[in-house]
Structure 1
């Protein structure tokens, strides 16, 4: 047994996230493993001449945050794009876009992010003509925060070959104007992908979402080096926020290979799990690739082994699938990306192969379809500890709430997403949902009370990546009107959904997610006491050190 620790964290308020011993003052690390947990005096006995000591100075010490749903490559690329969160009105948008364009004179496609649906006004939908008034001579496209709707100027629509419209698959739309040309609004991936493919990166960062395939043609060495640098920047950002594990929600071999190349070069920053993304045009034998990804990448640092799908879109674009009509669009319930029978077959085959499944489902109709597919898989293959997931669940029908516990399905929720949270406007989302469905929207505590296991995440870059900000959003959320359910979370509920529960959903609960001797040394040290901080001020408590696999990845 090792006689001395490599790292000691002392004088902390250690929250182990383990019910048997929930609190301590210090911990010792040897190699990539937690050696001991105890009082400051007890852990001091492990100190040797080469031991690195981190004095937490009374700050909270936690298992490293496990971001349960993000898009690493896309978010990393967007760190250098135009950010429009909080921009409101034509003049403010115009100033931001023109300033960004002037700073990047050689960029073939200018891209903006987090443009609110009501960025120009609460009633006006952006058109290409609006954007042409700002910048007409260079292609410009901007995305809504949910990344499911984009608005492009005429130059960008021509650049991508979609100004005249084109035939798209279910759930995708190029909104057309009365003049027979594209109005500028592009809904869902197939509509805006032809535009963003013309950018400097060739949209390689989005391949894990758009096609699930590999770059074709293969990137040049310079392009591959650029992509590695992009992902490294994103991983370093994760580490700076106390994140030690991430569960990506799009994927292909290319992303896995790039992350592995960084780690092999000694640039390890964060554990990652990357799925195979199954698209609607694929045959069932495409799951062979998912199995190949699982076999090639199965270490504790980098793994695959699950399948991600989208079954619907988003509420604000009327592309989420609802059980009943949209409140503000009678006669329309959305169009699923897979017919129910086909999704049942995909879920059944993936489950038969022992692959975990994670499905984006926002509307209550989509959630029901996914639950039905998981039930079909169970009938065909028999029950097992599959831990299949549903991502987002922004509206759920009350009849489907108990099915999560019955089927062992994990609810993957995003605290920053409810309208009114973290600066998001209420409209148009609450009107899309309709007041009758408000009690079952973003229903965290209702699902918990029914026995559902729950993980929290941000869906970065849809929402800011900061786990502490997300935890704050979970704790301070307010009902949209008196009498609606109170879905505020306790601090310990939110922390568990970012640590122990997030480890459980990826079948790693015996290796991480808690601070216990013998578990992996994934630790975040905060520069303040979370329990002594008012919920509204949690965002002021920042990580001062992040340790992943016994490696100092930030601060210290």
Structure 2
């Protein structure tokens, strides 16, 4: 007898991302695979008495969203933190902080996130004294949207032992005040890490980002807390239509929890976790990364790439720049790795068959990353490595062709551009410098130069909603003269969130498209996305998410 479907979705506007059959009306799933895609009548013939029939009512059905750059542990923890996104002014901050403190009387460290650099107004710095005026007697810290800068009050700085400063290494800074004490601004992980460690989670959610190491001791109770936090975060991803996550901080502790969830049937999304190499590690640690690739190789849980931070971010002057900053032309910052060290990492990782993904925001960091990939290709021979550069907020025009020449993937976050739905134009455009505006946050330009490109949110740096990212990629307006039009088309944006995301993780043979035999990863939307106005795409909502043939989210 012919195989029958477990689930049929019909009356849909299916965008398959399969160039041979780009659209369809209905899709049938059997087990964890796609059984058939086609016309309603043909798919209806695959139903049996036990088949679940889903009427899409003319709404779009897409391949499951592949979130190609995010941070699952910090993002999961942020779901219970104080969200300061779009909040503005001292009085609004005061009200939010006091309400949050009252609602969390037992939390040893109160934490907020997505606090704008210009929260108090342009040119008005956030200091410990500002936070003390609101909450003087309980430790409090809040992250900037980019998660590379934080501001802490005096109580938090004292409790962390850094009120009088300290050595936090290259690329990190405890900003000091004229009084000889920390002024409250903490730049990069080594600076704010001691404060994060005060929290009820002990800062375990930040270790994959800050050190790449595992927590030294975890009690069964703490493990249970972390497992529950991550499970809630993964379920939150599923409700946003996400079926695959490419995580961008990593340690073995996260892999252990994910394998636990996978074994118990509680992993609602596919997840890929990197080995995070830091500048204090010996090159031999890449042998451990190679073992992880062998040990974690299922379709639900994989660890097959290496994450590197080359620099920080523009707004805190920790991005590594060519020719200085727009408002500090004599200052370039320093990279977190020397040229020799990164070339060695790139060459060895490539030799081991490990993909590299490098956070490089400044133009000099982007160039140094390209140079390392070129050194690896010369040492090992050209291969299909699909190495990546993450963010690429400023690039020198001479480096644009190198994406195609070296086969490097551009990983970008559409909501990150200044003046979009997430971040204001200032202070970022001043730090870029007017003469470099045409080479900032490039999408269309990179695609036209032959770059393969994936989209992502970088959650919790910005909201995870993939449709907000897609909307920003469709509606972006230049914020200055002589800037190119960097918008992409709707189908290009969806492709960057689905089929291209599967390709970049070497899974294009089984996911990212809706075609028979592929994994059953699907999102059913609330509307027809092709009929929506470009500025209305962010209002799209998933009505159903299916991962590996299981319904992982369904709107009530």
The TM-score bracket by the shorter chain reads over 0.9
Confirm or deny: 8 A CA contact 1:5 1:28 kept in the other structure.
yes
Match of 2:45 in 1: 45
Asked if 1:486 is matched to 2:480, the reply is no
Asked if 1:223 is matched to 2:222, the reply is yes
The CA deviation string for residues 503-549 of structure 1, in whole angstroms up to 9 with x for no partner, is: 00000001100000011000001110000000101122211011100
Asked if 1:436 is matched to 2:435, the reply is yes
* 1:212 counterpart SS class: coil
The CA deviation string for residues 424-471 of structure 1, in whole angstroms up to 9 with x for no partner, is: 211100000000000000011111011000000000000100111110
Following TM superposition, by how much is the alpha carbon of 1:423 offset from its aligned partner in structure 2, in angstroms? 4.0
Query: Whole-Å Cα distance in 2 between the matches of residues 228 and 303 of structure 1?
Result: 18
Match of 1:282 in 2: 281
Match of 1:546 in 2: 545
* 1:359 counterpart SS class: strand
Confirm or deny: 8 A CA contact 2:416 2:422 kept in the other structure.
no
Following TM superposition, by how much is the alpha carbon of 1:2 offset from its aligned partner in structure 2, in angstroms? 5.2
Query: Whole-Å Cα distance in 2 between the matches of residues 330 and 13 of structure 1?
Result: 52
Match of 2:319 in 1: 320
Match of 1:329 in 2: 328
Query: Whole-Å Cα distance in 2 between the matches of residues 164 and 287 of structure 1?
Result: 37
Instruction: Please list every run of at least 4 consecutive aligned residues from structure 1 whose deviation after the TM superposition is greater than 2 angstroms.
Output: none
Query: Whole-Å Cα distance in 2 between the matches of residues 174 and 86 of structure 1?
Result: 26
Match of 1:129 in 2: 129
Query: Whole-Å Cα distance in 1 between the matches of residues 250 and 554 of structure 2?
Result: 29
Confirm or deny: 8 A CA contact 1:127 1:151 kept in the other structure.
yes
Query: Whole-Å Cα distance in 1 between the matches of residues 28 and 267 of structure 2?
Result: 21
The number of aligned residues is 555
Match of 2:349 in 1: 350
Confirm or deny: 8 A CA contact 2:437 2:480 kept in the other structure.
no
Match of 1:160 in 2: 160
Asked if 1:191 is matched to 2:199, the reply is no
Query: Whole-Å Cα distance in 1 between the matches of residues 241 and 193 of structure 2?
Result: 33
Confirm or deny: 8 A CA contact 1:2 1:30 kept in the other structure.
no
Asked if 1:72 is matched to 2:72, the reply is yes
Match of 1:142 in 2: 142
Match of 1:374 in 2: 373
Following TM superposition, by how much is the alpha carbon of 1:238 offset from its aligned partner in structure 2, in angstroms? 0.7
Give unmatched runs, 5+ long, in structure 1: none
* 1:247 counterpart SS class: strand
Query: Whole-Å Cα distance in 1 between the matches of residues 18 and 388 of structure 2?
Result: 23
Give unmatched runs, 5+ long, in structure 2: none
Match of 1:451 in 2: 450
Match of 1:104 in 2: 104
* 2:37 counterpart SS class: strand
Confirm or deny: 8 A CA contact 2:14 2:60 kept in the other structure.
yes
* 1:530 counterpart SS class: coil
The CA deviation string for residues 383-435 of structure 1, in whole angstroms up to 9 with x for no partner, is: 10000000000010000000000000000000000010114211100000000
What TM-score do the two structures reach when normalised by structure 2?
0.99
Confirm or deny: 8 A CA contact 2:422 2:462 kept in the other structure.
no
Confirm or deny: 8 A CA contact 1:475 1:489 kept in the other structure.
yes
Query: Whole-Å Cα distance in 1 between the matches of residues 355 and 455 of structure 2?
Result: 18
Matches within 5 A, 1:252-267: 252-267=251-266
The CA deviation string for residues 272-328 of structure 1, in whole angstroms up to 9 with x for no partner, is: 000000011000011122112111110001001100010000000010011111111
Following TM superposition, by how much is the alpha carbon of 1:157 offset from its aligned partner in structure 2, in angstroms? 0.5
* 2:414 counterpart SS class: coil
Confirm or deny: 8 A CA contact 2:26 2:38 kept in the other structure.
yes
Confirm or deny: 8 A CA contact 1:249 1:274 kept in the other structure.
yes
Confirm or deny: 8 A CA contact 2:149 2:186 kept in the other structure.
yes
* 1:387 counterpart SS class: coil
Following TM superposition, by how much is the alpha carbon of 1:271 offset from its aligned partner in structure 2, in angstroms? 0.3
Match of 1:523 in 2: 522
| 1:190–1:2 distance in 2 versus 1, CA, 3 Å | farther
* 2:454 counterpart SS class: strand
Query: Whole-Å Cα distance in 1 between the matches of residues 363 and 329 of structure 2?
Result: 16
Query: Whole-Å Cα distance in 2 between the matches of residues 450 and 238 of structure 1?
Result: 32
Matches within 5 A, 1:473-512: 473-512=472-511
Confirm or deny: 8 A CA contact 2:415 2:422 kept in the other structure.
no
The CA deviation string for residues 356-385 of structure 1, in whole angstroms up to 9 with x for no partner, is: 000000011100000000000001111100
Provide the aligned C-alpha RMSD in A. 0.9
What TM-score do the two structures reach when normalised by structure 1?
0.99
Asked if 1:469 is matched to 2:468, the reply is yes
Matches within 5 A, 1:83-98: 83-98=83-98
